[in-house]
Structure 1
């Protein structure tokens, strides 16, 4: 019983060690430097709201000075002459100043610009959060598809090697040809090259996954493979028009571009405010002693409340130039928003079509695989009966393995299309990745 128990424990431990896409995503949230940097970028961007608001709030300042003065004053003596008075004295001043903007359009534009910058930071972070889900699934499926290609290449090598040995045996008996041997050998070498390429692609994908979770690399045996009985998802909503509306409303890239346009719009207003007056209410409390030569040995306690009006008259044309410059930047932002909207909707339509056609493609490839398997058996029997030749067998084997590869590719393409459709619609959440995660099971290799 002990060997059986140990075997069961090993199977259970290997199944528990296998990571699905959701497991990788949870680790990426803690370790991916791109995502961690995005958090800090968002936190920094949110401060723009408070920075902009500060220009509308009261400002309180305090100043203090104390000094030693050595002064020589020339004073009239009352008889038409003058005399010198050497004065060595201490002076000091203490001032509290409170200011409250009453009308400052530049400060108001700065506040609205800060709000837009904060919203931009928030939407940009939402975009990068959803992009992390896409990156995780992209590298995950690339690694698994590379493994499928490796398995197919090795199966091809094994089949072509058997065919090569069989052809050599037939050639020695005078029943085969040198061409048959060369054909089998050529197919074997091509399969070897495909295996090498797939190994390189898998290594790159596993390293990308490792970078997401803070490891040098990930072992393919650590990843749960796609279930053999994988079935497509029900597409909800089923209408493209609904997806279109979702993308326009929720897509974080478009939302951040709209906020970027708002930032540019209020930058124009901020520069335009250079032509407008400013009205500020102020209150000061000032204490001075011997502050100047005229107040020598005099102390003043002064409290002042008032309103200050400042009106710009001419600034060398700088205000007009900066306003025109900001206007051109705003127009650029408008075109960028339009271009990004078109690009997003094109990708949305592509992924929506891929989801619809993916169902039919999977069904067709599954039927094609059954036919290809039957073709291999039929061709081998026909060769024994003298109705087919060696090349027919090689072609049948090649078609079988190509169909297996295309079926695997179609499965991963469908999962990526379904995920990207939600991403471009702006409603991709971790619950969606959890649903995709259910399509992957414990290790079977």
Structure 2
């Protein structure tokens, strides 16, 4: 994900003509309106400031102080004649400008390294959230379309059962059918009605999720449906080892966790620097008037330049405790990296296997749909010839529509797995969404 892609998508959002909301249009809207993405963008911008904060520890520091006061004091002088008291009512002021430049400060160097690591961590987190936006968008888009297909299939199945129910009723009235046939068909009809309602609830939830991402209201007809000509493409690269190597090198979450480990290492070094001396160069200019009782009615104009060394000796054990604490947190980050790596590789292999198996599953379900459609016609003819009964027709129709539902689910599952595979490998970008868009056609 690059800023060039983001800018291109935003421009496309404002310049594209009005048409069906395809994946590219939805992505452009998501970049503009998705609150989760914008939160990630602000997180990255805030993280970039860690680089300047860390670098500041190595740069000069300039301080200015000014003091102007009214003083009322009583001075007692002891003499042979006794104590002599004088009341002084006077004004004093001091003005000081100091420049300090670290020369040897290991804590400042570790702080600088920590700032760099935090900035890189913010970059990787943003890259991960940017890729995650593509996944969330396609997930909601796909779920909405799949729910729409389920509604259409359930409605078509219900209409088929309704026609069968009319036929059963007609045969029963003529004395050629049975009440059992009527009850069997009615039960199947009512079941498909319940399935249709359930699919409608799923559609509403998916559309609301998609609306939350793109920031605009929409209905199912606004989306581009899955095209009828569905071809599962071979994976590139083909072997899992290549995908694993990609994930280890490019996965955003793993990269972020490695930078988090580096941050913990630099924080440990900062704590350890509490035992080390520091050396700095300083220069100052100072002007005072009656700055103290010893300089009453005296003015000074002093310029100084020199070096300052600070040697920590004892801090109540706080430095040692802080170092141990930072070391434990470094070890914690190391274990979290190991756990994240294992989780990522396990999920990567799962999506890889799903992509491979989808090739055979799509072909199998396409054959099942074709065979089940032929079976319905053959079974109806057998019933007319007295070789089959009404329940056989209902079972054949159930098998046909179940196969169509399974085929739709498998197609969408393959596209999601393909997207997830590239996301886990860390190579997902907006061009991949454009490639997925080829599977979707204009709404009818």
Q: Which residue of 2 aligns with 1:181?
A: 182
Please give the alpha-carbon distance, in whole angstroms, between the structure 2 residues aligned to 1:197 and 1:326: 53
Q: Report how far residue 82 of structure 1 moved.
A: 4.7
Match of 2:59 among 53, 57, 60: 57
3-state secondary structure, aligned to 2:442: coil
Pairwise mapping of residues 74-113 of structure 1 onto structure 2 (< 5 A)?
Answer: 74-75=76-77, 81-113=82-114
**Is residue 2:44 matched to residue 1:42?**
yes
2:374 aligned with 1:374: yes
Residue number in structure 1 paired with 2:399:
399
Residue 310 of structure 1 is matched in structure 2 by 310
Structure 2 match to 1:239 = 239
Deviation at 1:80, TM superposition (A): 5.5
Summarize deviations over 1:13-70 as a string: whole Å, max 9, x none.
xx95311122111100000000011100110011111101111110001111111122
| In 1, Cα distance between equivalents of 2:399 and 2:117 | 57
Which segments of 5 or more consecutive residues in structure 2 lack a partner in the other structure?
A: 1-16
CA distance in 1, matches of 2:113, 2:408: 51
- Compute the displacement of 1:112 (Å): 1.1
**Alignment match, 1:330:** 330
Structure 1: gaps of 5 or more residues: 1-14
Confirm whether residue 134 of structure 1 aligns to residue 150 of structure 2.
no
Q: Distance in 2 between matches of 1:333 and 1:76?
A: 69
Cα separation, 1, equivalents of 2:19 and 2:148: 18
What displacement does 1:265 show?
1.1
Show the counterpart of 2:435. Answer: 435
Deviation at 1:306, TM superposition (A): 1.4
Provide the rounded CA distance (Å) in 1 between the counterparts of 2:415 and 2:259: 31
Alpha-carbon offset, residue 85 of structure 1: 2.5
Equivalent position of 2:30 in the other structure: 28
> Shift in Å at residue 276 of structure 1?
1.2
**TM-score if structure 2 supplies the norm length?**
0.94
For the residues of structure 2 that align with 1:252 and 1:277, how far apart are their CA atoms?
39
- Partner residue, 2:289: 289
Aligned counterparts of 1:66 and 1:75: Cα–Cα separation in 2 = 27
For structure 1, which segment, 340-349 or 100-109, has the greater mean C-alpha deviation from structure 2 after superposition?
100-109
1: distance between equivalents of 2:296 and 2:188?
107
Kindly state the Cα deviation for residue 208 of structure 1 after the two structures are TM-superposed. 0.5
Q: Helix, strand or coil: the match of 1:38?
A: helix
- Please give the alpha-carbon distance, in whole angstroms, between the structure 1 residues aligned to 2:18 and 2:162: 37
Instruction: Tell me which residue corresponds to 2:14.
Output: none
Alpha-carbon distance in structure 1 between the residues aligned to 2:91 and 2:320:
49
Give 1:280 deviation, angstroms: 1.6
Deviation at 1:259, TM superposition (A): 0.7
Rounded to whole Å, the distance in 2 between the matches of 1:82 and 1:161 is 121
SS of 2:118's equivalent in the other structure is helix
Partner residue of 2:205? 204
Quote the RMSD (CA, aligned, Å).
Answer: 1.3
Per the TM alignment, residue 83 of structure 1 is displaced from its structure 2 partner at its CA by 2.6
TM-score (norm 1): 0.94
Q: Which residue of 2 aligns with 1:169?
A: 170
The C-alpha deviation readout for 1:331-383, integer Å capped at 9, x for no partner, is 11111111110111111111111111111111111111111111111111111
CA drift of 1:76 comes to 5.6
Once the two structures are superposed, residues 171-213 of structure 1 have per-residue CA deviations (whole angstroms, 9 ceiling, x without a partner) of 1222111111111001001100100000000000000010011
Secondary structure of the corresponding residue to residue 203 of structure 2: helix
| Offset, 1:75 | 3.3
- Within 1, Cα distance between the matches of 2:20 and 2:208? 17
Helix, strand or coil at the partner of 1:291: coil
SS in 2 for 1:17: coil
Q: Which residue of 2 aligns with 1:4?
A: none
1:233 to partner: Cα distance = 2.6
More displaced stretch, 317-326 vs 138-147: 317-326
Paired residues in the alignment total 428
Cα deviation, residue 275, structure 1: 1.2
- Structure-2 separation of matches of 1:127 and 1:35: 10
Distance 1:149 1:246 in 2: 36
Counterpart position of 2:126? 125
Q: SS of 2:96's equivalent?
A: strand
The equivalences for 1:351-370 within 5 A come to 351-370=351-370
Partner of 1:11: none
Q: Deviations over 1:400-428 (max 9, x none)?
A: 00111111111101111111111000000
Partner SS state of residue 316, structure 2 = coil
**Structure-1 residue corresponding to 2:8:** none
Q: What's 1:9 paired with?
A: none
Question: d(CA) in 1 for partners of 2:336 and 2:291?
Answer: 59
Q: Quick check: 320-329 or 244-253, which moved more?
A: 320-329
- Name 2:215's counterpart in structure 1: 214
Match of 2:413 in 1: 413
